[in-house]
Amino acid sequence: MNRLESFHCRTIFKTAIVVAIAAILCGGPSMAATLAVKSGESIQAAVARAAAGDRIEVYPGTYHETVYIDRDGINLQGIVEAGKWPVLDGESSLNDGILVSGHGVTIERMWVRRYKGNGIMTQGANNYRILRNVVEGPCFYAIFPQFGKNGLVAYNVVHGSDDAAIYIGMSDGVDVVHNESYASIIGIESENSRNILIADNYIHDNVMGIATTLLPGLPVKSADNLIIRSNYIVHNNAKNWAPPGAITAGAIPGVGMLILGTDHTVVDGNVIRDHDSAGLIIAETNFFVPTPDDKMDPFPDNAQLLPNVFLNNGSQPAGAIKDLVEAAGAGRGVDVLATGKGHDNCVAERAAITSLGINRYADCAPTATSAAVLTMRPKDPVVNPAYTPQQKGRLTYLAVCTGCHTYDSKLIGPPMVVVKALYGKDALRLADWIAKPTHKRPDYPEMPPQNYLPADVRLAVATYILNELSH
């Protein structure tokens, strides 16, 4: 149903009795409208017209834009016709494909490619669903939900990320299931997140397959209750191309899975095969990332290594793993390599795997299984907070600005201290400039216009930069 038909429904049927009939005629009790976007039109323009709960159908064609969704309940549906997809193409010049800060948003069947930052990112959004998309690089993150609760990331095909292709950041209650992830530095990563299910995915030909991490220096200080189950984690042996010093430069090639400092991590029923360095590494955070952060417990506690299939791992260990294996006096890599730190960890089928560093692990109970846990998402949608302008400003700064700017250093754009000095307290002027930037300095690239951000969000982020941001 298109927007006009929906309006027609809304206008004619006004009484309470007829509203019930209208709900049937209009396709649902919320009377959501459907907006169509055809090739040559703007998806963002449709988002701007949409009301909360509306469905936006995007038809095959190639769209060069950033789509920013800050309304609740928007259903962005790609329509695939005879094998032709709606393609959102950043042409390696735009930063982000789809940015979501509204709650209850669905992004489905979109082909997103060549965005320098994120393919699809949710920032502070709850109750989201990212389904059946194709996201290809080069990009930094293909699918990156951050600071959200109750999410579903399923049936996506992702590849070509310079960091984690599917990156669950500081989230709670997310299922990552039935995805294919390949040719990225990390296939799937859950960072400082709680209640996460990573199941039934096919993860292959990355530098590293899956990582569950507790990283220092982030606002969330724990990572707890993760199940990694029934995934096919195969041949993640690509060479690491991250720049020296970047945190992903530490991603070790040839590793199926890494558990770094996360607690209550269950590894159950996966097939982990053909990794040059190791099938699974379990370590304390500061073993690989020594940034001081005493607010978090860096040890991996209560890990359960339940029966998995380990095949042909450790045949040609590389880099740090090679060195560690040699230090341990082992002739080759192993299925499971642990640094030995942590409490109350256990392993099943100890005799079936090759291992180092698990002498202090107990035997898991023979009956232990994660099978009863079908989802980590809450039974009911979580409450959706309405963010204040201040929160919107901070969220947008983190999601959009920090891809190119830091507070006091040159990253790609100028440091924010310079911006603060230039604009003083004039947030309106900065907000206007964000929408229509001009090339000011020969030693910096021109900033892409951020005019997809609504005026209130631009003002919120400008206000945050000038009034609150500090070091």
Partner 1 sequence: MSFAATFNHCVTAFCILLLAGHFGAQAQTRLEDSAKDALYDCPMPPLDTAAATATKLSAAQWDKNKLGCAADLWFALAERKTSDPMLKMQALLATTSYIDHVNLLASLDLYGVHQPEWTARIHHAAEHGKVLEERLGALPVDDANVLAARALYRLTWPAKIADTKTQLAESGAALELFAKAVALDPKALHGNALWLLGRLYYDLPEFAGGDPAKGIKLLEEACHSTPQNVSLLRYSAYVFIQERDVPRGKQRLADMLKMKPDPANLQLFTDELKGASELAERIGDLSLARQITVKRDRLFTAHPELLRRLGSAANMHGGVDPITGKDD
Which residue has 């996966």 as its token pair?
270
Query: Cβ 289 to partner 1, closest distance in Å?
Result: 8
Residue with smaller CB distance to partner 1, 212 or 231? 212
Sequence-distant (6+) residues with CB within 8 A of 116 are: 90, 92, 93, 94, 95, 138, 139, 140, 403
Query: Cβ 281 to partner 1, closest distance in Å?
Result: 11
Nearest to 75 by CA among 7, 129, 151: 129
- Residue 81 carries which DSSP code? B
Query: Cβ 236 to partner 1, closest distance in Å?
Result: 19
Please give the Cα distance from 316 to 333 (Å, whole number).
Answer: 7
- Which amino acid would we find at residue 77? Q
Please give the Cα distance from 456 to 412 (Å, whole number).
Answer: 25
3-class secondary-structure state, position 471: coil
For helices 416-423 and 427-435, angle between their N-to-C axes, nearest 10 degrees: 120
Please give the Cα distance from 416 to 467 (Å, whole number).
Answer: 12
Residue with smaller CB distance to partner 1, 2 or 291? 291
Residue with smaller CB distance to partner 1, 5 or 224? 224
Query: Cβ 41 to partner 1, closest distance in Å?
Result: 29
Nearest to 142 by CA among 124, 127, 130, 129: 130
Please give the Cα distance from 123 to 185 (Å, whole number).
Answer: 22
**Cα dihedral sign, 126-218-413-252:** negative
Query: Cβ 342 to partner 1, closest distance in Å?
Result: 9
Please give the Cα distance from 203 to 211 (Å, whole number).
Answer: 11
Helix, strand, coil percentages, rounded to 5, for the chain:
20, 30, 50
Query: Cβ 232 to partner 1, closest distance in Å?
Result: 28
For helices 427-435 and 455-463, angle between their N-to-C axes, nearest 10 degrees: 130
- Which amino acid would we find at residue 280? L
Query: Cβ 118 to partner 1, closest distance in Å?
Result: 8
Residue with smaller CB distance to partner 1, 39 or 402? 402
Residue with smaller CB distance to partner 1, 4 or 411? 411
Residue with smaller CB distance to partner 1, 215 or 260? 215
Residue with smaller CB distance to partner 1, 101 or 270? 101
Query: Cβ 341 to partner 1, closest distance in Å?
Result: 8
Query: Cβ 13 to partner 1, closest distance in Å?
Result: 40
Q: Virtual CA dihedral for 2, 3, 8, 14, nearest 10 degrees?
A: 120
Residue with smaller CB distance to partner 1, 121 or 466? 121
Residue with smaller CB distance to partner 1, 9 or 121? 121
Please give the Cα distance from 434 to 344 (Å, whole number).
Answer: 51
Phi, psi of 406 (to 5 degrees): -120, 175
Q: What secondary structure does DSSP assign to 292-340, as a single string?
A: --TTS--S--S-EE-S-EEES--SS--HHHHHHHHHTT-SS-EEEEE-S
Residue with smaller CB distance to partner 1, 32 or 303? 303
Residue with smaller CB distance to partner 1, 209 or 413? 413
Phi, psi of 243 (to 5 degrees): -65, 150
**Cα dihedral sign, 241-148-91-464:** negative
Tokens of 117: 């930052």
Query: Cβ 348 to partner 1, closest distance in Å?
Result: 21
Contact 386, 395 (CB under 8 A): no
Residue with smaller CB distance to partner 1, 2 or 390? 390
Query: Cβ 294 to partner 1, closest distance in Å?
Result: 4
Query: Cβ 219 to partner 1, closest distance in Å?
Result: 4
